[in-house]
Amino acid sequence: MAVLPIHVLGSPVLREETRLVDGITPELLRLADDMIETMRAAQGVGLAAPQVGRTERLCVVEVEDERHVLFNPEIIEREGEIKWEEGCLSIPEVFGDVLRSARVVVRATNREGRRFEVEGRELLGVCLQHEIDHLHGKLFIDHLSFLKKRRAMQAWDAEKDKYPGLLRVVAPGHPGEGSSPENL
Ligand code: ZN
């Protein structure tokens, strides 16, 4: 497995629509493994393919003991509302309150190519919604009000020069800054 460079805000791939995966290949399984390793090294609880410069519809989540590899995930049920302070591995050191559904059910394909469903509330639910947004070119800052988004962008202005080439390199075993559990 390998820790991959993480694309940060400004990298065009973060704004691209992903494409459906139509077959689970060994190469895609290796990508999923690398994404899990990258997410852990960066102390995140979720990571989507565009964040490592890829356009496959694939994300990984790990909240407490629950870990999932999700190919072609889609939200099939949602209810209620919850406000959660989110961050993003692609926008380090920037946080903001986002209103999400309080409970979601997501249908996806697993590593074995079988369809499955996962129900998420609280952090898992927020994380699933955040990662699925990534797969459609959407970032958590897009959910913020005009003023909060402007504040977030000002915070990012002070951070972005730390990432030459719009890439964030996280060393294995040397987690970077941002060890809070809201890193999605
Ligand atoms: Zn994110």
Q: What number of other Cβ atoms are within 10 A of residue 14's Cβ?
A: 21
Give domain status of residue 181, yes or no.
Answer: no
Give domain status of residue 1, yes or no.
Answer: no
Q: What is the CATH number of the domain that holds 63?
A: 3.90.45.10
Cα(91) to ligand 1 centroid in Å equals 7
* Overall domain count for the chain: 1
Give domain status of residue 76, yes or no.
Answer: yes
Question: b/e map of 105-143 (b: 16 or more CB within 10 Å)?
Answer: bbebbeeeeeeeebebeebbbbbbbbbbbbbeebbbbeb
What's the pLDDT band for 96 if we cut at 50, 70, 90?
very high
**Domain range for 122:** 6-168
Cα(140) to ligand 1 centroid in Å equals 7
Give domain status of residue 83, yes or no.
Answer: yes
Return the pLDDT at 1: 84
Cα(101) to ligand 1 centroid in Å equals 17
Return the pLDDT at 91: 97
* Mean pLDDT taken over the chain: 94
Cα(122) to ligand 1 centroid in Å equals 16
Catalytic residues: 131
What pTM did the predictor assign? 0.94
What's the pLDDT band for 92 if we cut at 50, 70, 90?
very high
Return the pLDDT at 50: 98
For the cut 50, the answer to whether the pLDDT of residue 29 exceeds it is yes
For the cut 70, the answer to whether the pLDDT of residue 64 exceeds it is yes
